[in-house]
Chain A
Amino acid sequence: MKQNASFDTSFWINVCVGNTVAYVNEYFNLFTTNEVAEEIRYPLDILGIKSQSTLLFNKWLNQDKITLQNPNNPVSWFQSGENAAIALAIEQRYFILIDDANPYHRAKNAGLSVIGSSDFTVFLYDQDHITFEGAMGALQQMQISKKLRRTASVTLESLKRLKDK
């Protein structure tokens, strides 16, 4: 059953560059805030760059695949974007799709279910939505640290070995 989820800019960018974005909508009803929308649109609105992630975001908004919804009381853990996404998830009891690890512990302490683009990629391979090569390719494309890429790749390889048995 699809779950409602609030997402932040980092997650959206990584599933777009990793080419796994189409599957996000199969598992989640997507909600996001004005702050996050502004961040995702920054390349187009401020820099005039037609980035794939911005264009797709606008397209999905127009197609009602993403709903704009704002929290009543933004949390003030840090200063901006992620706060609004997390506050919305807390108020509405949504999942939070986020790649920024800094707010992770606070989000967990607030009782949120936290998903990132790299774990989602491994999950997609497990569910046979994408091939092993596709999953590895996605992890290579994502803007993540070498350490996280290595952790995700090792997990993926272990999973492949077990699936191939």
Chain B
Amino acid sequence: MSTAKIVTKSIRLDDNESEKLKQISQDEGVSEAALLKRFVRRGIAEHRLEKAITAYERGEADLSAAAQYANISVYHMMSELAKRDIEPPPSAEKFMDGLKTLVATFGGSEALKQTISTFESE
């Protein structure tokens, strides 16, 4: 059984907002209170996701920490970052360095060595 304390919050809506809420409530057959709670939950989740993405983009958080803060899986966070085309600055350098490490460790064709050398000289 949940021991979470329930707190009541009241909000003020203008006529337009109130009417829209009423309409959705009728359309979906859900009480306005339940709808508001759903919207608040979604809003909080969205807010935390945006904060996590910003922190990741600035290099303040790694992927795990960002996912943890947003309360989503690492896969979900990777997908959100890819969708927004967010990549930390060292990614291209990391890519080429990884390729060089693989060649140095396991060997590679002359073609691959030449490709790496061409990219490095550019």
Q: Which residues of A contact B (CB under 8 A)?
A: 3, 8-10, 13-14, 27, 35, 39-40, 42-43, 46-47, 51, 53, 77-83, 95, 99-105, 108, 113-116, 118-120, 122-123, 126-127, 143-148, 151-152, 155, 158-159, 162-163, 165
Interface of A is mostly: helix
> What are 5 sample pairs from A and B whose C-beta atoms fall under 8 A apart?
A99-B63, A113-B101, A116-B98, A118-B95, A147-B85
Q: Which residue of B lies closest to A16 (CB)?
A: B75
Q: Which residues of B contact A (CB under 8 A)?
A: 56, 59, 61-65, 67-68, 73-75, 78-79, 81-82, 85-99, 101-103, 105-106, 108-112, 114-115, 118-119
Q: Is the CB of A82 within 8 A of B62?
A: yes
Q: Is the CB of A78 within 8 A of B90?
A: no
Beyond A39-B64, A43-B75, A145-B82, 14 extra complex contacts between A and B, CB < 8 Å? A40-B74, A43-B73, A77-B62, A78-B62, A81-B62, A102-B61, A144-B87, A145-B85, A147-B91, A148-B95, A151-B92, A158-B119, A162-B114, A165-B111
Interface of B is mostly: helix
- A156 to B13 Cα, complex, angstroms: 56
Q: Which residue of B lies closest to A42 (CB)?
A: B73
Q: Which residue of A lies closest to B110 (CB)?
A: A162
Q: Which residue of A lies closest to B111 (CB)?
A: A162
- A75 to B88 Cα, complex, angstroms: 20
Residues of chain A with a CB closer than 8 A to B78's CB:
10, 13-14, 99, 143
Q: Is the CB of B87 within 8 A of A103?
A: no
- A146 to B112 Cα, complex, angstroms: 22
Q: Is the CB of A115 within 8 A of B101?
A: yes
Q: Is the CB of B111 within 8 A of A126?
A: yes
Residues of chain B with a CB closer than 8 A to A158's CB:
115, 118-119
Q: Is the CB of B112 within 8 A of A159?
A: yes
Q: Is the CB of B90 within 8 A of A105?
A: yes
- A95 to B89 Cα, complex, angstroms: 22
8 closest A-B pairs by beta carbon, nearest first, are: A81-B64, A119-B98, A145-B87, A79-B65, A162-B111, A143-B78, A78-B62, A101-B88
- A151 to B82 Cα, complex, angstroms: 15
Q: Is the CB of B102 within 8 A of A115?
A: yes
